[in-house]
Amino acid sequence: MARKKKGQRNIVQEFDNYFGSGTLDDWQRLCKDIGLRGEFGSKTKCRKALRTVHINIHDLLDAVKQGREPHRFRNVHELADYTVENDKIYPKKAVKEMGPVRALLRRVL
């Protein structure tokens, strides 16, 4: 994993701390924090639901800290423009195969 620059946010560690160990409760909390409504009785249902939303992971963590829902972009193009313009990119090489970030990650470059 690349070193972070001094003063730069360690987004991978922040997300890992927020998400927890990956229990169904952790997945359900993530769906709720994003503002998804419905019954998510399995991790697979959560993953499928997360694929339908376009959010920035940096903004998700900030919103959770502030007790609000993160901004949801209408499409991947809006998310990509915002992410690149604001340099809020999650490092692809830190993504776990079946983890929640995989479900949230979009191609922005």
Q: What is the 3-state secondary structure (H, E, C) of the chain?
A: CCCCCCCCCCHHHHHHHHHCCCCHHHHHHHHHHHCCCCCCCCHHHHHHHHCCCECCHHHHHHHHHHCCCCCCECCHHHHHHHHHHCCCCCCHHHCCCCCHHHHHCCCCC
Report pLDDT for 92.
85
Report pLDDT for 102.
87
pLDDT at 1 over 50: no
pLDDT at 2 over 50: no
CA dist 12 → 2, 25, 30, 55, 69 (Å): 11, 20, 15, 16, 20
Please report, for the chain, the start and end positions of each structural domain, with discontinuous segments joined by +. Answer: 13-104
What mean pLDDT value characterizes the chain?
90
Report pLDDT for 5.
54
| Higher per-residue confidence, 33 vs 99 | 33
Write the pLDDT tens digit of every residue in 20-30. Answer: 999 999 999 99
Write the pLDDT tens digit of every residue in 47-96. Answer: 999 999 999 999 999 999 999 999 999 999 999 999 999 999 998 888 87
**40 residue type, one letter:** F
